[in-house]
Amino acid sequence: MRIDLGGRVAVVTGGSRGLGLAMSRGLAQAGATVAIASRKIQSCEAVASEIIAGGGLASAHAFDAGSWEQCDKLFEEVTARWGGANILINNVGKSPVAPSSLETSEKLFDMIIGVNLKTAFRLSALFGSQMKAAGRGAIINISSSGALRPDPSFAPYAAAKLGLTVFTTTFAQEYGPQVRVNTVMPGPFHTEATAAWSRSESFAKHARGSMPLQRAGEPSEIVGAVLYLVSDHASFTTGATLNVDGGFSSAR
């Protein structure tokens, strides 16, 4: 059951930190060439250097998610550098919390939808059509279990993340059978961005009382699901959603 991604090029948005960093490392360890894209080029370069030092292949790409122009630029850079991609991980996301729906500005709303939803659509269209023409590919949309248990404080984010599952279904139809498209839905994980609440006593108490695994996940625990879905072991899996959430979505 060894996963070998040798000869494949993987694009990971938001791939320089948190869950994206764990995915970038895991894909590289499985043999994939990894194109790491995020807003801070220095962070991408650091991850690329780490992968190269370990004997892998990688490239760094400055990518400010939220606009089609930036998506087109990333597509052109990856195609020029590596000849295209076989794997796309739509991982980049932002989840700012607003005081209330009334106090949510149009600018904030548009930013949340742009980063979490519009970016995934455009990149999937660009790389998905390329993969279909090449005869092979896999796309993973990284959603959130918060989309299944939304809260008023992050309603636009939850709507955008749930929208990714719609894209999973539609792109699986549009680019199949050559390209498989699936969703991974993480629950609470310990990352730099979430440490303030994921490591709080209030969350720990909630987890112990309601979540089957009674804790948040470590970033490395997302990697197995991603590697499986992009590998040939998942050759009959498309249009699916895999929850990696410690039972969070089923908790009461």
- Residues contacting residue 19 through CB under 8 Å, at least 6 positions apart: 91, 142, 186, 189, 191, 219, 222
In terms of Cα–Cα distance, which of 222, 216, 103 is closest to 155?
A: 103
Cβ atoms 24, 9 nearer than 8 A: no
Q: Is 157 a catalytic residue?
A: yes
CA distance linking residue 143 with residue 147, whole number of Å: 8
CA distance linking residue 64 with residue 14, whole number of Å: 10
- Tell me phi and psi for residue 201, to 5 degrees: -65, -30
- Tell me phi and psi for residue 54, to 5 degrees: -85, 5
In terms of Cα–Cα distance, which of 24, 70, 30 is closest to 45?
A: 24
Q: Which of 82, 127, 154, 157 is catalytic?
A: 157
Q: For 149, which DSSP code?
A: S
CA distance linking residue 168 with residue 34, whole number of Å: 22
* Active site members: 157
